Amino acid sequence: MLTQIKFGTSGWRAVMAEEFTFANVRRAVGGIARHVAGQKPQGARVIVGRDPRFLGETFCSMAAEILSAHGITPLVVLEPAPTPAFAHCVIQIKADGVINFTASHNPPEYNGIKFSTPDGCPALPEVTQKIEAEIQTMDREIDQEGSASAIFRNNPAASGHQSIDVKAGYLKRLAEIVDLETIRKAKLKVCFDPMWGAARGYSDALLRDAGVDVSTVHDYRDVLFGGHAPEPDDHLLEELRKKMSATGAHIGIATDGDADRFGIVDADGSFLQPNYVIALLFDYLVETRGWTNGVAKSVATTNLINAIAEARGIELHETPVGFKYIGELIMQDRIAIGGEESAGLSIRHHVPEKDGVLAGLLCCEMVARRGTSLGEQLKALCNQVGSYYPLRQNFRLTAEVKAKFTEKLRFDPREFCGHDVHRVVRTDGLKLIFEDRSWVCYRISGTEPVVRVYSEARSEGGLEKLSEAAKQWIFD
């Protein structure tokens, strides 16, 4: 029986040699090709690229062949590149989509396909559902014909492969957004960790060309990513910290496998939660760019952003989880910055896609211009608008507990572990807000027996009590 290929917001991901096989990749790319050809029967062009994962070059060649057989010109990017670089390029050259072979921050045994539409956004559900329908139609045709001709159509309008560079244009755009001269004049020392991923030769090259002192770690290809997920999280940034200590760096910046997520380390080696990075950059962009058109955050992201927006009189947009919702607001020019607690952000006049490279560079600029560490800046900000302590936890559930808890989430509770519920929000999952602006949000995974729990309190002691209560409420 054929594997059912399902595209989420971040595309289709699976374990290599289990579900992510050559046969299934052909089916997935064939479905995308049929969809694109249906939208634009003549003259369509699709960018094909990858991160540095195992067999990426082979998958790109395979995709180019399938696209060409459907009369679509494949624009192949020969070297690994960041997801936001593909997003920038598809908009600039007015191509008809991007097929990007990446599993982002997933462990090395995974690979995946992200399909982006001509606007640079990850494909929305209405698009991915059409692609999935094309795959199913194609599967039926193969069953009837007994061959793969449904995937490799002999199209007389088929075009040859073309190669394309996404790096130069993307770096040029970043140089227009980020004040590199301020970073240089401040004599900022930066350490960069691409985590063996797609941003190698991007963040560091741009800074170095601007005359900034940059050191790097993990600046070579390793398809095993050091034996763990290429995720720029606190516990995986020890080598970056060591390099910072050895070089006297003022800031450490990191990106994940496809460079759509960021990780930031302060001068003293402390990891800055993505929640706080987004809040600081929001405050900084309003201060330095004068942008007051709005701010967006997912329902699971810190209310420190709410407090800043309220203090500055800026419209707040609270979205469901998924960067596509923030991307739409960027395209409509309704926000200065939008971000998610899972380390994704983008800003006004930029791509409607998460950009970890940009996030790190803007943090460098912020430290250089303000002349103080990120920790000091965060302390000053919280002194102005109040302190917020966020936490995310995952809890695995048995089938019985999941069914019981799913039913429990259908109702709006008035009381939560001895606290009165001030407000209930159902933007995404169940969010309970209390009188002091502390809150808990529950989101059940659609792909595994897990509930994601987001808690935020106004003190460290309050967070400890709230997170314990949040766990207790699941299993009551």
The reply to whether 180 falls in a domain is no
Kindly tell me if the per-residue pLDDT of 158 is higher than 60: no
Nearest-angstrom CA–CA distance, 195 and 89: 23
Indicate if 331 and 269 belong to the same structural domain. Answer: yes
Q: What is the DSSP letter of 122?
A: B
Phi, psi dihedral angles at 298 (to 5 degrees): -75, 160
Query: What token pair was written down for 347?
Result: 């800003």
| pLDDT (average), residues 269-296 | 98
Nearest-angstrom CA–CA distance, 96 and 305: 35
Indicate if 393 and 376 belong to the same structural domain. Answer: no
Is residue 287 within 8 A of residue 381, CB to CB? The reply is: no
CATH of the domain at 109: 3.40.120.10
- pLDDT tens digits, residue range 32-83? 999 999 999 999 999 999 999 999 999 999 999 999 999 999 999 999 999 9
Indicate if 193 and 145 belong to the same structural domain. Answer: no
The reply to whether 4 falls in a domain is no
Strands, E, within 41-176: which ranges?
A: 45-50, 73-76, 98-101, 110-116, 162-163
Indicate if 106 and 225 belong to the same structural domain. Answer: no
Looking at per-residue confidence, does 153 or 42 come out higher? Answer: 42
Indicate if 277 and 418 belong to the same structural domain. Answer: no
Indicate if 381 and 393 belong to the same structural domain. Answer: no
Indicate if 125 and 240 belong to the same structural domain. Answer: no
- Domain of residue 242 covers 189-385
Residue 419 banded pLDDT, cuts 50, 70, 90: confident
| pLDDT (average), residues 366-389 | 98
The reply to whether 6 falls in a domain is no
Query: What token pair was written down for 149?
Result: 């001709």
Of the candidates 74, 408, 231, the one whose C-alpha atom is nearest the C-alpha of residue 240 is 231
Torsion of CA 159, 165, 166, 167, to 10 degrees: 170
Which of 141-155, 328-342, 383-397 has the least mean pLDDT? Answer: 141-155
- Which are the contacts of 417, defined by CB distance < 8 A and separation ≥ 6? 469, 472, 473
| pLDDT (average), residues 402-407 | 93
The reply to whether 298 falls in a domain is yes
Nearest-angstrom CA–CA distance, 187 and 251: 12
The reply to whether 446 falls in a domain is yes
- Final residue before a domain boundary, out of 335, 351, 385: 385
Is residue 32 within 8 A of residue 101, CB to CB? The reply is: no
Residue 411 — left, alpha, or beta (φ > 0 → left; ψ -120 to 50 → alpha)? beta
Give me the pLDDT at residue 143, please. 77
Sign of the dihedral through C-alpha 128, 129, 132, 137: negative
Indicate if 122 and 202 belong to the same structural domain. Answer: no
Average pLDDT, the chain: 94
- Final residue before a domain boundary, out of 385, 417, 450: 385
Give me the pLDDT at residue 31, please. 96
Where do the H-state alpha helices sit in 70-107? 83-92
Indicate if 287 and 377 belong to the same structural domain. Answer: yes
| pLDDT (average), residues 172-181 | 98
The reply to whether 117 falls in a domain is yes
Nearest-angstrom CA–CA distance, 66 and 287: 49
Using alpha carbons, list the distances in angstroms from residue 396 to 31, 39, 450, 453.
34, 42, 4, 11
Indicate if 333 and 395 belong to the same structural domain. Answer: no
- Final residue before a domain boundary, out of 350, 385, 420: 385
Indicate if 356 and 398 belong to the same structural domain. Answer: no
Q: Per the structure, how many domains does the chain have?
A: 3
The reply to whether 19 falls in a domain is yes
Which of 1-10, 229-238, 258-267, 296-305 has the least mean pLDDT? Answer: 1-10
Of the candidates 389, 179, 207, 197, the one whose C-alpha atom is nearest the C-alpha of residue 285 is 179
Give me the pLDDT at residue 142, please. 81
CATH of the domain at 417: 3.30.310.50
Query: Helix, strand or coil for residue 8?
Result: strand
Residue 313 — left, alpha, or beta (φ > 0 → left; ψ -120 to 50 → alpha)? left
Indicate if 381 and 396 belong to the same structural domain. Answer: no
Nearest-angstrom CA–CA distance, 216 and 193: 6
Of the candidates 80, 119, 62, the one whose C-alpha atom is nearest the C-alpha of residue 200 is 80
The reply to whether 411 falls in a domain is yes
Give me the pLDDT at residue 156, please. 46
| pLDDT (average), residues 144-173 | 75
